[in-house]
Structure 1
């Protein structure tokens, strides 16, 4: 352990950026430039942030208020050398300092070296630590970052998996494990979510782990209120759909679905149960999709309530192009008129091509080309033979 700390410190101090002569500001502030018995000039923090750290004048003005107590560039120089030693570029170092100016106040030997040793001991590489510094903000300045990262590695399965939610919310590393994170994880486990489910949910909604337990309990109750029971395959999706939605907003979204599609209470209940993510769709997208499916395709609202996933597909990129392909094939006797449109909509692109395009290349040679054009919004009715 001692050997590694010495290595870390040596590596940092051997970095070119650790040399005082590399700092433009140091030429005007080092003791060598001051005559004997003269008072040392004040350390110009704002100028240092601009000249050495690469911040804009506006950024430096804002950041300087947080580190105005610094009297010399010794600690900032060492901190910057540490970042350079991890492999961060000048622009990346600038970003770190802009997000967390207090990083420049950390002691390399007392804080950063032990953190580096602890993180490498749990399996992180130098590049992993560099990524962590970039996204962790102030949380990296606390030695507890090691135990927290260790916990998240076990929860998410790998550093790469943990990095995804961390990029969305640095609060993950700032939240207390014992009083906040672990109780929330325990609650999600009680709801039947396994480690992979929790990881997937938190990749999209990292704030669910850093929220107060009472708030997460309210989210769970709201998901159950949609008729989706704990332990069901759809519960994670339902929880995702209602997370951070107030009762008023949730009620408004349900009312909008009823008014737009003409659904009864029972029908909207069926639809939301089968596709909770309907609650996250924009009003405009749902209105345009429902208008097309009901008015042009001729589907009944009850049909859509039983197949609500149709409303989540792109109108321009999926619904309309595939409808014109199916319509063309039916009108020309290439598929049976009773072929369900939903089967064509839910098929993957690969399956759709195999079932609806490829079998008819001989008699409808331009079908693939016309379909591709329709997906870009061109030639929507130009499906032809020959």
Structure 2
């Protein structure tokens, strides 16, 4: 009986001691947490321009009970040396305030050096850092970044394409649904895309390929083939898919409505699109300006323009109008040896146009020459 009582007393004693230790530990941790919060709050307010509310919100993401021995200025100075301004730094710290407690040499520099060695530098590096604020500083180099980049390398083939994709969609460094991506790639292969074409499509439209479901991808492919009428065997099919990847069908329909308002039939519209899908990327305002000039001022027909869609891609002010003025003057002066169709003349390289249409008449028509140089720019023309 005594033995039993003795055991009970011993057990109670240990329980009391444990509770005491727990209480002391908790009290100590709470005190240290408050001390850390006070230190970081003061730094956010005085050094990084946070408001009181912004600082409190940021500090909710920090739960550190160990004493702070690192100097946040080292992190901020490192960011500044990378080219980040105070607004960039504030944005990073707001999103991931623990970054101020990172070791620059062991935690920050290796990740940035890895991206720089890949080819991400300058404004592109800043863009990636800002797009992946929590991701870059909260994930490990060996455990996350290197495997992710290796996956992208295998998919895209070259570091150049990986960098291009990251510039367009930096969150490729984040979680990737590989199964979805694999299904999208298989779908593209079934439509006749080569490995190189798939890599180019992903590099130029990474967000669409990585985030879009296979069902939506197939819908785009069918639109190109059945709606735009570009057969999958055509070299233009790839460009049609690339263009539709980032656009809704309603956006395309709006472009078609503009063309119809100028008297274009569906035959004319789809003739132009099949020859040069790139015309679908132009803004509605640019399409209208081109149509006003070519149709209303020059009198070209939809048939003429549909068979020469490249005319829409040229600058009206720097290429088309200046050359048309030269042609008009030469035709008026009956310089028959230099008569030519505008659709042919605008395709000439600048040097060729200058040599054939300007230099032979520089002394005879000095105003024509000077007007062209003024409109196009001497740098564009080169030394004459």
Question: If the length of structure 1 is used for normalisation, what is the TM-score?
Answer: 0.70
Q: CA deviation at 1:336?
A: 4.6
For residues 340 and 125 of structure 1, do their structure 2 counterparts lie closer, same or farther at Cα, with a shift above 3 Å needed?
closer
Per the alignment, residue 148 of structure 1 pairs with 148
1:101 aligned residue (96, 107, 127): 96
Report matched runs for 1:1-386 at 5 Å.
39-40=31-32, 41-44=35-38, 45-51=40-46, 54=48, 56-57=50-51, 60-61=54-55, 64=58, 67-70=61-64, 74=68, 81=75, 84=78, 88=82, 91=85, 94=89, 97-98=92-93, 100-101=95-96, 104=99, 112=107, 116=111, 119=114, 124=118, 133=129, 136-140=132-136, 141-142=138-139, 143-176=143-176, 178-194=178-194, 197-198=197-198, 200-212=200-212, 213-224=214-225, 225-260=227-262, 262-336=263-337, 339-375=340-376
For residues 252 and 348 of structure 1, do their structure 2 counterparts lie closer, same or farther at Cα, with a shift above 3 Å needed?
same
Secondary structure class of the residue paired with 1:145:
helix
Which structure carries more helix by proportion? 2
For residues 56 and 248 of structure 1, do their structure 2 counterparts lie closer, same or farther at Cα, with a shift above 3 Å needed?
same
Separation in structure 2 between the aligned mates of residue 298 and residue 311 of structure 1, nearest angstrom:
15
Report if aligned partners of 1:100, 1:137 keep a CA contact under 8 Å in 2: yes
Report if aligned partners of 1:79, 1:107 keep a CA contact under 8 Å in 2: no
Aligned-pair Cα RMSD in Å: 4.2
Report if aligned partners of 1:136, 1:170 keep a CA contact under 8 Å in 2: yes
Separation in structure 2 between the aligned mates of residue 331 and residue 59 of structure 1, nearest angstrom:
73
Question: If the length of structure 2 is used for normalisation, what is the TM-score?
Answer: 0.70
Separation in structure 2 between the aligned mates of residue 374 and residue 118 of structure 1, nearest angstrom:
46
| Structure 2: runs of 5 or more not aligned | 1-27, 378-384
Report if aligned partners of 2:118, 2:163 keep a CA contact under 8 Å in 1: no
| Deviations 1:55-108, CA, capped at 9 Å, x for gaps | 543894486166243456749858965993996356387167257426628876
Secondary structure class of the residue paired with 2:238:
helix
Q: CA deviation at 1:245?
A: 2.8
Report if aligned partners of 2:224, 2:237 keep a CA contact under 8 Å in 1: yes
Moved more, 270-279 or 68-77: 68-77
Per the alignment, residue 379 of structure 1 pairs with none
Give 1 or 2 for the bigger CA radius of gyration. 2
Moved more, 364-373 or 59-68: 59-68
Report if aligned partners of 1:165, 1:202 keep a CA contact under 8 Å in 2: yes
